[in-house]
Structure 1
Amino acid sequence: MAYAAVVSLAQTLEHINHHHHQYCCIPLICEEQLFESLLEKLSFLQAFLEDNAQIGVETVEGLEGRIRDLAYRAEDIIESHVSDQISSEQERYVDLELQNSEKKEVDLQLVMEETDSIVEQVMSIQNSCTVEDVQCSYASALPSSGGAPNDGNKMVGFDEDILELKARLCGESSTLQIISIVGMGGIGKTTLATNIFNDSLVVYHFHIRVWTTVSQNYHLRQVLLALVASLTDQKTTDLSNMMDEELAECVYKTLKGRTYLIVMDDMWSTKTWDDVRRFFPDDHNGSRVLITTRLSDVAVYASSSPLHQMRFLDEEWSWNLLRDKVFEQQSCPPDLERIGRTIAQSCGGLPLAIAVVAGILAKVDRTPYHWEKIVENISEAVASNAEHFSKILTLSYDRLPCHLKACFLYMGGFPEDYRIPVFKLTKLWIAEGFLKPSRPKSLEELAEEYLEDLVKRNLVLIVKKRSNGKIRFCGLHDLLRDLCMQKARKEEFLHVANNSGKGIQNQRRLSIRFEISKEIVDKCASVSPIRSILYFHWYIASLSFLRGYRLLRVLDLLEASLDSLRPEITQLFHLRFLALGLDCPKLSNRLKVPPSISKLHNLQTLMIRADAILLLPIEIWEMPQLRHLIFFQERGLPSPLDAAPSGGHVLENLQTLRVDNFRFTSTAIETMPNLKKLKVYYYHLFVAVWTEYCLSNLVHLYQLETLNLLFINSLIYKENPLPASFALPPNLKKLTLSGCTIPWRHMTVIGSLPNLEVLKLRDNAFTG
């Protein structure tokens, strides 16, 4: 997690630089020369971490851990000093603050010395790692070629896949076809390709069949050697004197004029295809190239025909595969079938997981008691009994670019089978500081790209899409989630807490799924620099423990039930993401958010679920870093006019707003110039809604892309004409109208929107 830690630290320093007036009492940090020097070294380390895959893992063993710990320590020193400064100003403990400041400056100086030491080590590695070293590392993983692996695996549940692919391979199309099989590790791509490669019809149809396993450590010469060795029945050692061009010519001439099938198993990059495609002649004789890959981008790039996307087995086929693996030709005893079906279902439709579990079951006594033991912890049984299985899943993680690893591991913090809302996940990634800014793209756009990349790598599942094709909910396969938790715990990145509090030491983030006890939170505060808490239980007795977590960035209590926004929360100066579940106190249907919420100067996302009318303070318009203001029930948001009568406060970062009965005055519009998503509910309304709530001013939200106007329990039963010259924001891409009772003759207002992609009209949106 070194890369994510360095990116986060760099963003923290940049933030201090851009808001130096808030941090003027931190002389060591704000000293320009030191500041620029530290940023320059962090940039150097970022570049090194981005490129270290080319150098080799062994070369940098232990170094990433040093870089990670350095970045964590520096960020803790800087932000704890800021907290001390804020506390001393509020409580006027000036002498104590000066003492702490001196200590922090000494600590930070030690960090600078450690940074210099690491930079020197990195430069030494770069100078000693030559091109020849890199090529030697590739040569250590020689691609295999020749016949397909023949492990006797009979495909269960993929009969339709086999028939479809055989038809495409042996079909009437005479042009060279490149067909890609794509799916996550362990889903059966290689087994499917093997069954097809060895099928009697395929053997008869093609004059030449060659199987090449490319693997992740690709090097062109090794692929050429493997292909020539297979095509000419020569040993690779006998071909070592041939130049690359001679090998390539040999492949081309051998295939020329003959009907061939080349299988390239486990391809990891588009560069591989760019390098080898010219060796495969197209003589319009029905030749085929079959590729297997985990990466959808690679499959799309190489394929000349539709992709073959692997799917998970359903419950019935999962049981059939498990039964056949365990009992072979024998029948399953009735008293084991129910338990066996439960075990098969727990594998999540992943054939490799089912095969591993079958191997475990084959070694234990065939009794309900022993099988029930397997059911109790299927994931642990798989992980501890299948080194090959673990390597296959780990390989997908190891091959991730460094900027995606933290985002992927973070998803392990959500509960099993959890439908993860994308709008929430991306905001959490941003708050954590995982994303390296890349203008002109916004951080939100980058986060969506990161998620799409993880989906294309078949590591993240799409649970539900939005009407515009974007992902609404996503999730993880249970076994990939287990991988996330294992890696995250090992990296001291995130820990899924248990009732004992075991394993918490040095962890940066906590995921909690049970009622939290005082003993555990006290232990966490004493042994770990906790930066994030994801809480997935409905009850929480007290938030007093937060006093020990003053460096928190993320506090997700959306699924909890609090009776108010407690004062402990508003003391968390570094908080960037705050999600709360609030229950209305007895004898009241209103909940007030205190003005002290404005103390959270760094807050980016405020998300509140309440079972009552939520009353927000004027001071909410004084939070300059606010990007997303989201409420799930009726709320009262005051106009920013009272907060900034002179128009002094502008929330330039505000992108998402959900409000009720809100008046879009000129001042309000000027306060949120970069708003991209707006959802407004209007309750109990009369006819003059468009004028009363200044909705004609919406046209001046030039960055707005998504607009929802929802009239609920409206008293409007007749036509509600739009004002003269009414127009909607010109850059709208998605528009939802409900209960507006607009006359159909005003439909031209919508028809004039040049960028509109999605239009939803609900519940008398138009009438007449």
Structure 2
Amino acid sequence: MAYAALVSLTQLLDQIMHYNNIPLSEEQELQSLQEKLTFLQAFLENYSHNNGKPVEFLEAQIRDTAYQAQDIVESHISDQVCGDDNCCGFERCFRYLGLRRSNIEKKYEKDLLTVMEQFDSIIEEVINIQRNSRVENLQHSYTSASASSTASASSRNAPSGRDKMVGFDEDLLRIKDRLCGESPKLGIISIVGMGGIGKTTLSRNIFDDSLIAYYFHIRAWITISQDYLFREVLLSLLNSLTVITKDLSLETDYQLAENVYKSLKGRTYLIILDDMWSTKAWDDLKRFFPDDYNGSRIVITTRLLDVASYASSSPVHQLRFLNEDQSWNLLREKVFGQQSCQPKLEKIGRIIAKNCGGLPLAISVVAGVLVKGNRTEYHWRNIARNISGVVTKNDEHFSMILTLSYDHLPYHLKKCFLYMGGFPEDYGIPVSKLIKLWVAEGFLKPVRSKSLEEIAEEYLEDLVKRNLVLISKKRSNGKYRFCGIHDLMRDLCIRKAEEENFLHVLSSNAYTSQRGIKHHRRLIIFSDFTASFFITTSPLPIRSVLNFSRCFLESFVLGFRLLRVLDALKTSLEYFPVEITELFHLRYLAFSYYAVKSELKIIPPSISKLRNLQTLIIHPYPLELYLPFQIWKMPQLMHLMFKTCVLLVPLAARIGWKVPVLENLQTLSTVKKFRFTSKALEMIPNLKKLKVHYTGVSQAKWSKYCLNNLVRLRQLETLSFSFRPTSSWRRDPFSTSFALPPNLKKLTLTGCRFLWEDMAIVGSLPNLEVLKLRDYAFLGREWESNEGEFGRLKFLLMEWLNLKCWRAESSHFPCLEHLVVRSCWQLEEIPCEIGEIPTLRLIEVGPRSKLAADSALLIQEEQRNLGNDILQVRLYS
């Protein structure tokens, strides 16, 4: 993880360099260190992944030296912070540099000088490698130009044999239809999916199919692979089309390509390009495939969605994991063939098949083990308990297939992918949480004009397109909500992360685990531990603790004085652990807070000592939490997330004095009875997401909350407004003036009791994409939407409304994709015109909405009669 270590250290130095009160000598040293880091980052970004063990050893040196430098700088900062209780942040740290040097400062200078010398030694070695690499490239170019090349045997012919296709019959039929039907124009069909999911097996069955063999005059199979060589691919193609002679192998690349074109010209051909890893490979080859409008086809298999989309002239074919029945059918076919399976083994066999996660290659490997072993319940149960161990131990080829995807990752994605191994098996990882953690860890290389969270979203999207990260659920606006990775891929992450000292999973064996974390930067806790486990005479280099156990001991935290991330959300504490406030470098803090007494629900003012904190997540029980005024003194805060909290504006703001501004604050949820005064809004100018809740507010006191000022939150994109009125006017409509920020994209209104006549305020929002109306958000029996409203709305939810008549035209919701109606028991029908919206894909109708459900089915039937098979209707009881 050399690259990750360099990026993290660079970010730390950038943060320090932003302060102007650093003495010149110190600034020069840090600038010099920064230049060295920039050089090494560029080296790793541009140098090939496959340059042998010397480079791997050099990467380990870079990683360890960067870690050492980070430890030196952050330890020095912590020492300075502890020496001055009246100052905060880096200003406090460097105030002492202008005074007489203490012994600690002299040690810091000596250690920093030592690590700078180590970087100089590494850079010298890098320069030698670059020089030697240039010489080797010249020699290779000369050799390629003067000597003949022969194609590797592995990529010359189609794989021998034909595996039984189980679970992919529909895929096979769909691909065959596309090959033999559709347009006579040359068609490129891309099959994409995770390594081991069956892309090659599916292609092999297509290639050997008797109908395909009859339909195409020429069939050729070429394996591209990561080590792609243009000349070898051309020779492999010609080998499939003709017989390679000595003269042909001596021809230039251009002559070989010309021979490929001539051999295919005028003939109906099928070319399988298996295991493609880059768009460059396709760019190199595509111009040598003639298009004679005779129905010729090219099939590309790849793990990379970007490559598949780039090459394909039609929608890509995404292979999915097998379901439980398909997995069992494949396992049974592999193990028993035509024989029957004993009922007592079938039950365990189904568990084994399920634990393979729908990955055909894993099922095949396990089946091979079952065939060789004893067919006893005991033996099969042991295999069911450890599918990963069985697969990796018994098939080196399987491990290599999964490892290829990791090895192909660019450096900036490797650390993000390995981080996925730090979450429990079958755990739905909240995407918003993952992104916040990546930011706090310092994984992301800054890009001008983009926020770190935008960069993190791009990294995640890239991993998804590489079929390494799986999306389990999306948000109503189409963005990712939960993600994860395949269990067998997770095991690969953990193994690689342990090798790189990137993270360590705490096992039940305390002695082994304690020794294991000595050189690791991240600690993952899945099981309970004891206080004695963390008693150590020397500081541990841990930067992150992800605690998924119920155990939390405040005392052990102080042993990790350089901690950046502490995620203990599954742990319920009876009081706020003040020891945490001593962790100056902390950027991410999450835990659950069970307060026995009401006075214990207050976060202590010392929380403001965490000057670097970006994310604070607390789930309090009971649901209400009081935040101190000092929270406004934490300039790095980006996300404040609670079930319900009370956040007061400092007195200074209320009387008009100058107050701190949280310029970085993007998320504030859920805040109770917040007063949106002009001064309060000045303190949160860049807020993007806000959840606010009001309860027990009478009509007479409503105006003091200044809701008409909400319109001044110009950066706000997501607003959730929840209202629980006093019982005396529970059925009365909302009568206070209300305005909404113009840039809203997502709006949730609960219990607000607006009149339907006021919907124009919502409908006029130019960027609104998601609208959720819950629990009498609007009062009244009739809603008539208007032309020109909801121009970009994609998702509409109506739940627990007393609406009876809804009148709308298709032009009123021109971009609507998803409509949900729940518990609207009086709604007589969904307007039939809604079905005419061209973008509409799904109508969901939940319980207590029978009339709406009947009308939805009629809409679907009418659209199908018109040839619209895209619109789906789902009914829930």
TM range (shorter): over 0.9
Listed as ranges, the matches of 1:18-33 within 5 Å are: 18-19=18-19, 21=21, 24=22, 31-33=26-28
- Kindly report which structure 2 residues correspond to 1:420-439, keeping only aligned pairs within 5 A, or say none: 420-439=429-448
Larger displacement relative to structure 2 (40-49 or 756-765): 756-765
Match runs of 1:622-661 below 5 Å = 622-632=633-643, 634-642=644-652, 646-658=657-669, 659-661=671-673
Tell me the residue number matched to 2:528. 515
Alpha-carbon offset, residue 327 of structure 1: 2.1
The SS at the match of 1:50 is helix
Identify the residue that residue 34 of structure 1 maps to in structure 2.
29
Residue 548 of structure 1 aligns to a residue whose secondary structure is: coil
Match of 2:161 among 140, 151, 166: 151
Give the alignment of 1:430-579 within 5 angstroms: 430-501=439-510, 502=512, 503-522=516-535, 526=538, 528-540=540-552, 542-579=553-590
Aligned to 1:376: 385
How has the CA–CA distance of structure 1 residues 329 and 135 changed in structure 2, closer, same or farther, with 3 Å as cutoff? farther
After superposition, the C-alpha distances for 1:356-406 in whole angstroms (9 at most, x for unaligned) are 111111222221122222122221111111100000000000101111111
Instruction: Name the structure 2 match of 1:687.
Output: 699
Task: Work out which of the residue numbers 666, 670, 682 in structure 1 matches 2:682.
Answer: 670
748-757 vs 253-262, greater mean Cα deviation? 748-757
Partner of 1:65: 60
The match for 2:81 is 86
**Partner letter of residue 56 of structure 1?**
N
Q: Which deviates more from structure 2 when the two are superposed, residues 432-441 or residues 125-134?
A: 125-134
1:584 matches 2:592: no
Give yes or no for the alignment of 1:290 onto 2:299.
Answer: yes
The residue number in structure 2 matching 1:403 is: 412
Change (3 A) 1:4 1:134: farther
Whole-Å separation in 1 of the counterparts to 2:101 and 2:579: 21
Deviations 1:322-372 (A, max 9, x none): 122122232222332222111111101100111111111122222112222
Moved more, 728-737 or 445-454: 728-737
Q: Residue 189 of structure 1 aligns with which residue?
A: 199
What amino acid does structure 1 have at the position aligned with 2:541?
P
CA deviation profile, 1:454-497 (whole Å, cap 9, x unmatched): 11110011110001111000011100110110000110000111
8 Å CA contact retained: 1:705, 1:734: yes
- What is the aligned length? 756
The 8 Å contact of residues 175 and 282 in structure 1, kept in 2 or not, is answered as yes
1:5 aligned partner, one-letter code = A
Measure the CA separation in 1 of the matches of 2:130 and 2:480: 40
Cα distance change of structure 1 residues 221 and 592 upon mapping to structure 2, 3 Å threshold? same
Q: In 2, are the aligned partners of 1:622 and 1:643 still within 8 Å (CA)?
A: no
Q: Hey, what does 1:732 align to over in structure 2?
A: 744
Aligned residue for 2:427? 418
Q: In the TM superposition, what whole-angstrom CA distance separates every residue of 1:618-665 from its partner, at most 9, and x where no partner exists?
A: 000110000111112x21111145479533411111111111211111
Structure having the higher Rg: 2
Q: TM-score, normalised by structure 1?
A: 0.94
Offset of 1:194 from its aligned partner? Answer: 0.4
| 2:779 paired with 1:760 | no
Alignment RMSD: 2.4
Residue 198 of structure 1 corresponds to 208
Aligned residue type for 1:223: V
1:177-213, Cα deviation, whole Å (9 max, x unpaired): 1111110000000000000110000000000111111
- Whether contact under 8 Å (2:150, 2:249) holds in the other structure is no
Asked which structure has the greater RCO (Cα within 8 Å, sep 6+), the reply is 1
Q: Is the 8 A contact 1:641 1:667 kept in 2?
A: no
| Contact kept in structure 2, 1:83 and 1:573, CA below 8 Å | yes
Deviations 1:162-182 (A, max 9, x none): 111111111142111111111
Distance 1:134 1:309, change over 3 A: farther
d(CA) in 1 for partners of 2:743, 2:66: 41
**What does residue range 307-322 of structure 1 map to in structure 2 within 5 Å?**
307-322=316-331
- Counterpart contact for 2:150–2:232, Cα < 8 Å: no
Matched, 1:104 2:108: yes
Look up the equivalent residue of 1:163 and give its one-letter code: L
Give the superposition deviation at 1:766: 1.9
Which residue number corresponds to residue 2 of structure 2? 2
Contact 2:638 2:667 in 1 (8 A): yes
Amino acid at match of 1:18: H
**Closer, same or farther: CA 166–12 of 1 in aligned 2, 3 Å:** same
Preserved contact between residue 85 and residue 97 of structure 1 (Cα < 8 Å): no
Aligned-pair distance for 1:313?
Answer: 0.8
The one-character-per-residue Cα deviations of 1:219-256 (angstroms, maximum 9, x if unpaired) are 32222222122222216x65332122212211111111
Which amino acid in structure 2 is aligned with residue 45 of structure 1?
L
Looking at structure 2, the residues matched to 267 and 320 of structure 1 have their Cα atoms a distance apart, in angstroms, of: 30
Q: What one-letter code is carried by the residue in structure 2 that aligns with 1:551?
A: L
1:129 counterpart residue number:
133
* Residues 270 and 297, structure 2, Cα contact 8 Å, conserved in 1: yes
3-state SS in 1 of match to 2:697:
coil
Q: Secondary structure at the match of 1:129?
A: helix
Aligned pair in 2 of structure 1 residues 134, 520: CA closer, same or farther (>3 Å)? farther
Q: Confirm whether residue 705 of structure 1 aligns to residue 714 of structure 2.
A: no
In the TM superposition, residue 146 of structure 1 has moved relative to its aligned partner by: 4.9
* Mapping of residues 109-120 of structure 1, within 5 Å: 109-120=113-124
**Distance in 1 separating the partners of 2:296 and 2:259:** 18
Shift of 1:582: 0.7
Task: Describe the SS at the equivalent of 2:524.
Answer: strand
Verify the 8 A CA contact 1:641 1:668 in the aligned structure 2.
no
What amino acid maps onto 2:457 in structure 1? E
Q: Counterparts of 2:673 and 2:567 in 1: how far apart (Å)? A: 27
Give the distance between the partners of 1:87 and 1:588, measured in 2 at CA. 32
| Structure 2: gaps of 5 or more residues | 88-92, 781-877
Deviations 1:133-180 (A, max 9, x none): 676999899585554212331111111111111111111421111111
In the other structure, the counterpart of 2:817 is none
Q: 1:172 to 1:464 in 2, by over 3 A?
A: closer
Secondary structure in structure 1 of the residue aligned to 2:715: coil
Distance 2:237 2:679 in 1: 70
Secondary structure at the aligned position of 1:262 is classed as strand
Indicate yes or no: 2:629 matched with 1:615: no
Deviation string, structure 1 residues 255-299 (Cα, Å, up to 9, x no partner): 111111111101111121122111111111111110100011111
Is the contact between residue 493 and residue 509 of structure 1 (CA under 8 Å) also seen in structure 2?
yes
Q: Post-superposition shift, 1:57?
A: 4.1
CA contact 1:590–1:615 (8 Å) conserved in 2: no
Contact 2:17–2:27 under 8 Å retained in 1:
no
Aligned-partner SS, 1:709: strand
How big is the shift at 1:590?
Answer: 5.7
The answer to whether the 8 Å contact 2:539/2:560 transfers is: no
79-88 or 757-766, which moves further after superposition? 757-766
Q: In structure 1, how many angstroms separate the alpha carbons of the residues matched to 2:375 and 2:641?
A: 54
Equivalent position of 1:360 in the other structure: 369
Q: Secondary structure at the match of 2:85?
A: helix
Matches of 2:548 and 2:234, distance apart in 1: 53
Residue deviations 1:687-718, cap 9 Å, x none? 36763211222222221111111224665422
Residue 684 of structure 1 deviates from its aligned partner by 2.1
Conserved? CA contact 1:492–1:508, under 8 Å: yes
CA distance in 2, matches of 1:41, 1:296: 36
Are 1:210 and 2:205 counterparts?
A: no
Q: Are the aligned partners of 2:540 and 2:559 in contact in 1 as well (CA < 8 Å)?
A: no
What percentage of residue pairs aligned between the two structures are identical?
60
Aligned partners of 1:526 and 1:480: how far apart in 2? 34
Distance change (3 Å), C-alpha of 1:466 and 1:254: same
- Corresponding residue number in structure 1 for 2:70: 75
Deviates more, 1:500-509 or 1:471-480: 500-509
